[in-house]
C-alpha cells in the first residue's frame, strides 16, 4: 500500500467567495465576478448559488443573466483576492507546513510520519477547514483531497465540492479514476483529449490500462511516462520552478484615454510594475518590447536592445524612444510592455555606461514600498496615473501584497 503523502487544498469559487465574505448583502445570493459590468464580457467566477443555474467561468454575461434570473454582477477587485489568498496560506500553514502554492486558490502540503495515516490526515483536513473559518472567514470554504501524490490529491479535491474531503488510496484508486472523464485529469485539455481519442483512448479505464511505454507514445514525450507513474500512485515531488523568460503587462485603454499622450502615461505605469517584478525575480533584462493595438485591429510592435539592466529610469527613457517612433495619426486602444532576454543578476557584467547607484536606489524604493505600502514612493511621471492599469491576477502567478494597487484593497 503506497503511503498517503499529499494533501491538496482547493478553495471553492474563490473570487466569488471573497466577495461574499466582504459584502454581507451578497451572501446566499447568485453572484458572478466579471471584468466589467457589461453583457459583452465573460464570467470570471461564479458563486455556488449561481452555479446551480449553470453559470460558470467563461460564460458570456448576457447568457449568464438569462440562465440565472437575479444574478448579481460584481466587478473584479483583485486587491481583496490577494489579501485573502495570503490569509489562507497563513491559516493552512498554522496547521501543516505549506509545501507549494500552486495557484491563487490551490495549496499543496506534504504529509509525513503519522500524518500519512488516513485518520490523521482526516483530522488535519478538519483543522484546516476550522482555521479558514476562524482566521479568514466563514464564507471561504475549501475542498481537500489526500492521496499518494499531488496529482491524485488534486483530482480528489474535485470529486466533492463544495466543502468536501476525499481520499484516493491504492485500494480505491482505479475505481475512483475510472469514473472520471479524460479532461478531469489536470493537464489533459481539449487538444490532448482529442489526441488520445484519435489514438483509441476514450475513457479513463482505457488510459489506466496503458503501460509506461504506451503512455510515452500517446503523449509523444517523456511527459506520458510521468503521467503513467502519477496515475499509478507513484510519488513525484514538484519540479523546480523555471525562471521567467519574460515579464510583461498590458492594458486596454478606456475610450477617454485613447490618445498617444495617455497611452504613453499608461505605458510608464506598466513598465514601472514590470521593473519591480524584474528585480523581485533577481533577473536583469536586455530587451524591451512595446506593442500598441490601434482602432481597426492594426498592431505595431517595436523593440529596444541594450546592456542588461534593472534600472527603471533607463527603461523609461527607452520606452519614450520607442513611443516616439509609433504612428501618431492612429488611435491606440491597447498598450503592452514586455521585458525579456533575461540573465540572473549574479551574472551581471559591470558597464561604465550604467549608473549602479541609481539601480541600488530603485531596489531601496522596492523595499520601502513593500514595507509601507504600494506607491509610497513612485516616479513623478506616474503621479496622474497611479490608478491606471490596475494589477490583475493570473491563476498561475499571484501578486504579492506590495504589488496590489491601494485602491483595490
What CATH number is given to the structural domain containing 272?
3.30.1490.100
Pick the closest to residue 275 from 332, 219, 315, 303 (CA basis).
315
Any domain includes 70: yes
214/83 same-domain check: no
Give the separation between CA 38 and CA 34, rounded to whole angstroms: 8
229/271 same-domain check: no
192/267 same-domain check: no
CATH code, domain carrying 162 = 3.30.70.270
Specify the pTM.
0.71
* Burial grade of 255 (CB within 10 A; 0-12, 13-18, 19 or more): exposed
CATH code, domain carrying 211 = 1.10.150
Q: What angle do CA 357, 361, 366 make, to 5 degrees?
A: 150
Retrieve residue 171's grid coordinates: 485500494
Q: Check residue 244 and give its pLDDT.
A: 78
Span of 6-10, 232-236, 285-289, 350-354 with lowest mean pLDDT: 350-354
Out of 19, 49, 106, 308, the active site residue is 106
| Three-class SS of 61-119 | HHHHHHHCCCCEEEECCHHHHHHHHHHHHHHHHCCCCCCEEEECCEEEEECCHHHHCHH
267/294 same-domain check: yes
Percent of the chain with pLDDT over 70: 84
Average pLDDT over every residue of 190-199:
95
Domain total in the chain: 3
Pick the closest to residue 117 from 230, 231, 9, 5 (CA basis).
5
Q: Check residue 384 and give its pLDDT.
A: 55
> Torsion over CA of 223, 229, 232 and 238, rounded to 10 degrees?
-90
Active site residue 345: no
338/298 same-domain check: yes
Retrieve residue 23's grid coordinates: 459584502
Residue 200 has pLDDT above 80, yes or no: yes
Local structure of 52: helix, strand or coil: coil
Any domain includes 307: yes
Any domain includes 356: yes
Confidence of residue 377 (pLDDT cuts 50, 70, 90): low
Residue 347 has pLDDT above 90, yes or no: no
Mean pLDDT for all residues in the chain? 87
Residue 38 has pLDDT above 90, yes or no: no
Task: End-to-end CA distance of the chain: give it in Å, rounded.
Answer: 48
Q: What angle do CA 385, 397, 377 make, to 5 degrees?
A: 35
195/339 same-domain check: no
Retrieve residue 19's grid coordinates: 466577495
29/111 same-domain check: yes
214/67 same-domain check: no
Pick the closest to residue 295 from 262, 331, 260 (CA basis).
331
Confidence of residue 114 (pLDDT cuts 50, 70, 90): very high
Neighbours of 196 (CB within 10 A): 20
Domain that holds residue 389: 246-408
Query: Where among 215, 239, 263 does a domain terminate?
Result: 239
Percent of the chain with pLDDT over 90: 67
Any domain includes 178: no
Amino acid at each position: 500500500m503506497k503511503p498517503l503523502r499529499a494533501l491538496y487544498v482547493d478553495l471553492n469559487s474563490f473570487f466569488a467567495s471573497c466577495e461574499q465574505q466582504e459584502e454581507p448583502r451578497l451572501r446566499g445570493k447568485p453572484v458572478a465576478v466579471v471584468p466589467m459590468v457589461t453583457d459583452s464580457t465573460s464570467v470570471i467566477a461564479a458563486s455556488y448559488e449561481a452555479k446551480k443555474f449553470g453559470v460558470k467561468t467563461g460564460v458570456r454575461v448576457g447568457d449568464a443573466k438569462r440562465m440565472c434570473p437575479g444574478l448579481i454582477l460584481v466587478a473584479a477587485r483583485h486587491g481583496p483576492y490577494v489579501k485573502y489568498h495570503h490569509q489562507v496560506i497563513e491559516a493552512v500553514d498554522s496547521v501543516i507546513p505549506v509545501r507549494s502554492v500552486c495557484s491563487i486558490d490551490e495549496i499543496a502540503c506534504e504529509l509525513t510520519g503519522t500524518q500519512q495515516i488516513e485518520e490523521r490526515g482526516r483530522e488535519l483536513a478538519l483543522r484546516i477547514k476550522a482555521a479558514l473559518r476562524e482566521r479568514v472567514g466563514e464564507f471561504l470554504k475549501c475542498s481537500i483531497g489526500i492521496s499518494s501524490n499531488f496529482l491524485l490529491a488534486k483530482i480528489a479535491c474535485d470529486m466533492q465540492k463544495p466543502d468536501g474531503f476525499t481520499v484516493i488510496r491504492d485500494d480505491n484508486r482505479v475505481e475512483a479514476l475510472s469514473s472520471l472523464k479524460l479532461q478531469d485529469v489536470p493537464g489533459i485539455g481539449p487538444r490532448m483529449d482529442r489526441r488520445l481519442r484519435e489514438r483509441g483512448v476514450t475513457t479513463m479505464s482505457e488510459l489506466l490500462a496503458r503501460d509506461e511505454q504506451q503512455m510515452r507514445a500517446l503523449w509523444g514525450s517523456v511527459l506520458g511516462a510521468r503521467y503513467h507513474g502519477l496515475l499509478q500512485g507513484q510519488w513525484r515531488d514538484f519540479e523546480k520552478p523555471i525562471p521567467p523568460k519574460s515579464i510583461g503587462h498590458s492594458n486596454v485603454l478606456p475610450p477617454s484615454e485613447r490618445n498617444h499622450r495617455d497611452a504613453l502615461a499608461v505605458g510608464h505605469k506598466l513598465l514601472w510594475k514590470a521593473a519591480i517584478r524584474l528585480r523581485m525575480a533577481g533577473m536583469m533584462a536586455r530587451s524591451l518590447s512595446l506593442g500598441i493595438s490601434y482602432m481597426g485591429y492594426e498592431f505595431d510592435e517595436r523593440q529596444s536592445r541594450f546592456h542588461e539592466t534593472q534600472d527603471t529610469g533607463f527603461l523609461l527613457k527607452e520606452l519614450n524612444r520607442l513611443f516616439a517612433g509609433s504612428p501618431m495619426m492612429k488611435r491606440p486602444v491597447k498598450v503592452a510592455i514586455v521585458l525579456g532576454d533575461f540573465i540572473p543578476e549574479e551574472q551581471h557584467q559591470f558597464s561604465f555606461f550604467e549608473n549602479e547607484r541609481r539601480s541600488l536606489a530603485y531596489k531601496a524604493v522596492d523595499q520601502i514600498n513593500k514595507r509601507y505600502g504600494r506607491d509610497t514612493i513612485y516616479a513623478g511621471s506616474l503621479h496622474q496615473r497611479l490608478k491606471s492599469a490596475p494589477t490583475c491576477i493570473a491563476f498561475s502567478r499571484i501578486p504579492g501584497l506590495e504589488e496590489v494597487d491601494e485602491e483595490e484593497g
